[in-house]
């Protein structure tokens, strides 16, 4: 894995990893990244993207959140990434994320769509909720104070896919991801377990379902919704409705994968991203 770098953006610091070179910039923003995730793979041969994997405010070496005040962090994380792109002199970029890592992409799609050349949303979708600012935690579990350095508990909270499979590569990746995520959690501070995550899951401030779908219909760039058919969070029927709404969007569903499909099969995810992004040139919408 590449070294972690940092950049100062006014009053905050964002940490990131960088892979590759050139003008095919690709951004992703999450609270953690697996060493061999598809975003990192796209910055290495046989691919030729210049990838920036940015750690969300509140996590890792990015500025931590200590005041406990609930805010719309979906908007904050998205705006942080826009500031990052501007500071790095990136005029436009491809975007891809996994699960919560899609939030920044959707926020930018609605607020600064001219920045995005193409978006692959993996293992997640934006969703309209009647109560958009319901409190949520990206990691559910016991009292955060009991989590810090508690390997026994954190091993049970770490990444785990339970869909049946006999494929040795998938089983090996599951074991590797579970071990790697456990170590990531073991290195977290109390603040990282207590990020007061409150967010508008529509990512666009929609006040009704009709307004949400109207804003989706205005997205002007190519979007691929990539999901597992067994995903209980980003359900296939909901993903289909979003793909039917965005002009020129595509939907790719793998029946045998669940919510962790992209992290369990990163080679497949990287291949599909590359195919889609290459197809955006001259794409008819």
Is residue 231 within 8 A of residue 258, CB to CB? The reply is yes
Written as tens digits, the pLDDT of the chain (285 aa) is 789 999 999 999 999 999 999 999 999 999 999 999 999 999 999 999 999 999 999 999 999 999 878 889 999 999 999 999 999 999 999 999 999 999 999 999 999 999 999 999 999 999 998 765 554 444 455 788 889 989 999 999 898 888 888 889 989 999 999 999 999 999 999 999 998 777 889 999 999 999 999 999 999 999 999 999 988 888 999 999 999 999 989 999 999 999 999 999 999 999 999 999 998 876 655
pTM above 0.75, yes or no: yes
User: What is the number of other CB atoms lying within 10 angstroms of the CB of residue 79?
Assistant: 16
Helix 209-216, helix 236-245: angle, nearest 10: 60
DSSP string, 126-175: ----SSTT-B--SS--S-GGGTTT-HHHHHHHS----S----HHHHHHHH
Measured distance CA(117)–CA(122) in Å, rounded: 16
Nearest to residue 250, comparing CAs of 162, 122, 88? 122
Residue 181 is classified by DSSP as H
In the chain, residues under CATH classification 3.40.50.1820 are 4-137+197-279
First-to-final CA distance of the chain: 37
Q: Which CATH number does the domain 4-137+197-279 belong to among 2.40.30.10, 3.30.1360.30, 3.40.50.1820, 3.40.1260.10? A: 3.40.50.1820
Place of tokens 């610091």: 13
């Amino acid at each position: 894995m590449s070294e972690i770098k940092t950049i100062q953006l006014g009053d905050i610091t964002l940490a990131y990893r960088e892979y590759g070179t050139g003008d095919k910039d690709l951004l992703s923003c999450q609270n953690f990244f697996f060493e061999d995730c598809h975003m990192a793979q796209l910055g290495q041969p046989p691919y030729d993207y210049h990838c920036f994997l940015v750690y969300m405010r509140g996590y890792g070496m990015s500025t931590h959140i200590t005041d406990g005040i609930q805010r719309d962090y979906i908007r904050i994380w998205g705006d942080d990434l826009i500031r990052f792109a501007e500071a790095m002199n990136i005029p436009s970029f491809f975007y891809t994320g996994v699960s919560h890592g899609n939030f920044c992409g959707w926020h930018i799609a609605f607020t600064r769509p001219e920045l995005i050349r193409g978006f692959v949303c993996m293992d997640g979708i934006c969703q309209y909720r009647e109560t958009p600012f319901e409190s949520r935690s990206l990691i559910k579990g016991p009292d955060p104070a009991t989590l810090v350095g508690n390997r026994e508990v954190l091993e049970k909270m770490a990444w785990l896919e339970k869909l049946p499979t006999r494929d040795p590569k998938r089983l090996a990746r599951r074991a590797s991801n579970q071990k790697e995520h456990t170590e990531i959690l073991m290195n977290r501070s109390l603040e990282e377990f207590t990020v007061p995550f409150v967010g508008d899951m529509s990512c666009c401030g929609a006040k009704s379902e009709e307004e949400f779908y109207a804003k989706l219909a205005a997205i002007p760039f190519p979007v691929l919704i990539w999901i597992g058919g067994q995903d209980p969070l980003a359900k296939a029927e909901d993903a289909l409705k979003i793909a039917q709404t965005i002009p020129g969007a595509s939907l790719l569903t793998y029946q045998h994968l669940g919510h962790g499909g992209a992290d369990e099969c990163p080679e497949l995810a990287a291949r599909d991203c590359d195919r889609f992004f290459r197809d955006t040139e001259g794409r008819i919408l």
